[in-house]
Amino acid sequence: MKTLSTLILSLGIATLCSCGQTTSPSTEQTTAQDSTNQVVETIMARRSIRQYKPQPVEREKMEQILECGINAPNGMHKESWQIRVIDNPDIINGITELYLKENPNAGKKPGFKNIFNNAPTVVFIAYDTTYDLSQVDCGLLGENIILAAQSMGIGSCCLGAPIRFMNSEAASDYLKKLELPDTHKLLYAIALGYPDESPAAKSRDKSKIKFID
């Protein structure tokens, strides 16, 4: 009987030790997960990409990225943006050809393929000219887009120069293809694609941040 009691006690101690060993790594793993913020990592890892692989971003992925975009905050739920996506190389190349007629030196850049940093997919964002905070809404929309893309391994770059051209008379035929409402005007574009480069991070001036007491 004494031997049986000793055996039961020994098994109990062994079980407690075993539970302790199982719990400890799990706790450490949870702590490690808590200390890693995926959103912060995505923001800090994101770079402006200016060289892309030729394949366009899959439509299914683009739909998810754009859904993230339209879930951005926006004033009074106006959703004042208009979004157009082009992944047709004929259209991208057509815009590029017109652009090069106006800016022939642009095509001399090594590796130049199109005016959207050679991206195979371009998102055009237009703001509502009748709403004074529409550009803010469009900026928030764009940030969601580029961060969602980054989280899926898709590079991006916000573009202004191609939009200046798109808003000019020379590109009027292509602007019409976007079928924007009369109330809207192109604000900027986002180049999207699988990165073909890995640029280093550029420094940021933290002195521009001030806490006011």
Residue 140: which of 72, 53, 196 has the closest Cα? 72
Is residue 32's pLDDT more than 70? Answer: no
Task: Show Cβ contacts of residue 194 under 8 Å, excluding neighbours closer than 6 positions.
Answer: 52, 53, 55, 57, 153, 154, 155
Per-residue pLDDT tens digits for 35-66 = 589 999 999 999 999 999 999 999 999 999 99
Q: What predicted TM-score, i.e. pTM, was given to this entire model?
A: 0.82
pLDDT single digits (tens) 123-140: 999 999 999 999 999 999
Q: List b or e across 23-50, with b for residues whose CB sees 16 or more CB atoms inside 10 angstroms.
A: eeeeeeeeeeeeeeeeeeebeeebbebb
Domain boundaries, the chain: 47-193
Fold of 47-193: NADH Oxidase (3.40.109)
Determine contact, residues 58/154, Cβ cutoff 8 Å. Answer: no
**What's the confidence (pLDDT) of residue 36?**
83
pLDDT, position 18: 36
Checking if the pLDDT of 7 tops 90, the result is no
